[in-house]
Amino acid sequence: MDKQVHKFILQLADNELILGHRISEWCGHGPALEQDIALTNIALDHVGQARLFYQLAAEMEGNGKTEDDYPYKRLETSFYNVQLVEHENIDFGYTIVRSFFYDHFYYFLLDQLTKSKHTALANIAKSAIKEVKYHLRYSSEWMRRLGDGTEESHRRVQQAVHDLYPYTGEMFLPSTADEHMKEAYGIDCASIKEQWLTAVKEILHEATLELPDGSWFHKGGKEGVHTEKLGYILTELQYIQRAYPNMQW
């Protein structure tokens, strides 16, 4: 098994799982019934994509591993998602901004993956990108509505942009697994940065919003160093498996 490819797959899977977990927290609490349904739908897509990646990782590893071993039986230092996706749903604006930043990155990454020589990854990417196009449209439309809506919505969403932007740099900062993917398969997360900035800025402009000037970015998620929030997420996510180990559900 190629360990670096395996880790790259876990990076993808963990991003999808943790973001899906966060968005699923909205279920039953959305700002309107239609948004409740849409957010739940998006959470379902994210968790569904996480499953595809975990299944692939399990298949690569063999020895009886299943999709559930990764989300339920690893400790926080063995999760490789970027820190951005761990952030709480402070309000609907934070949820949208978090997705908006992530969806753009993920879209461009999947776009590269659809063309890669790694057939299994390319196949997942081809089906996943269809869902991500919808996520991207959803988060972008809400950026416009909130940014160019009322004074209050503008203020709130601008604050979220300001607070979450420092967590975006990590997406483009190659981990050792990313370096390997670049050499072996031409998948280059660093090269996405420019495309990402152009796309994000264009929509922010329409939304009358601005990126902060800062050039300082947090990092560590891809190497297993997270924010304090991940521990709480896993406490909830893994509760049953920890309390009742080795059972079928």
Partner 1 sequence: MEASMEQKFQEKIDNDIRIEPKDWMPEKYRKTLIRQISQHAHSEIVGMLPEGNWITRAPNLRRKVALLAKVQDEAGHGLYLYSACETLGIERTELIDQLHTGKAKYSSIFNYPTLTWADMGTIGWLVDGAAIMNQVPLCRCSYGPYARAMVRVCKEESFHQRQGYELLLTLSKGTPEQKEMLQESVNRWWWPALMMFGPNDADSPHTAQSMAWKIKRFTNDELRQRFVDMCVEQAEILGVSLPDPDLKWNEERGHYDFGEINWDEFWNVVRGNGPCNKDRINTRVKAHENGQWVRDAASAYAKKQSEKKSVSVA
Angle made by CA atoms 170, 173, 174, in degrees to the nearest 5: 130
Output the smallest distance, CB 47 to partner 1, in A.
6
Backbone angles phi, psi at 14, to 5 degrees: -65, -40
With binding defined as CB under 8 A, does residue 244 bind partner 1? yes
Q: Token match 């932007």: residue? A: 165
Whether 143 and 207 have beta carbons less than 8 Å apart is answered as yes
- Say how far apart CA 83 and CA 80 lie, in whole Å: 9
Given 114, 116, 153, 191, the residue binding partner 1 (CB under 8 A)? 153
Q: Which is nearer to partner 1, 216 or 249 (CB)?
A: 249
At residue 25, what is the residue type?
E
Q: What share of residues in the chain are helix, strand, coil (percent, to 5)?
A: 70, 0, 30
Output the smallest distance, CB 67 to partner 1, in A.
6
- Say how far apart CA 120 and CA 68 lie, in whole Å: 19
Output the smallest distance, CB 138 to partner 1, in A.
13
- Say how far apart CA 249 and CA 137 lie, in whole Å: 36
Output the smallest distance, CB 18 to partner 1, in A.
11
Given 2, 6, 51, 195, the residue binding partner 1 (CB under 8 A)? 51
Q: 93 to 152, contacts with partner 1 by CB under 8 A? A: 144-146, 148-150, 152
Output the smallest distance, CB 118 to partner 1, in A.
23
Given 1, 3, 59, 68, the residue binding partner 1 (CB under 8 A)? 68
- Say how far apart CA 79 and CA 10 lie, in whole Å: 8
With binding defined as CB under 8 A, does residue 163 bind partner 1? no
Token reading at 34: 């239609």
At residue 39, what is the residue type?
L
With binding defined as CB under 8 A, does residue 240 bind partner 1? yes
Given 2, 4, 41, 74, the residue binding partner 1 (CB under 8 A)? 41
Query: What ranges in the chain are assigned the alpha helix state H?
Result: 3-24, 33-61, 69-73, 92-114, 119-147, 151-164, 176-185, 192-206, 229-237, 239-243
Output the smallest distance, CB 176 to partner 1, in A.
27
The mark string for 15-34 relative to partner 1 (x by CB under 8 A, - otherwise) is: ------x--xx-xxxxxxxx
**Which residues sit at the interface with partner 1, rule CB under 8 A?**
21, 24-25, 27-37, 40-41, 43-44, 47-48, 50-51, 54, 67-68, 71-72, 91-92, 144-146, 148-150, 152-153, 156, 236-237, 239-241, 244, 247-249
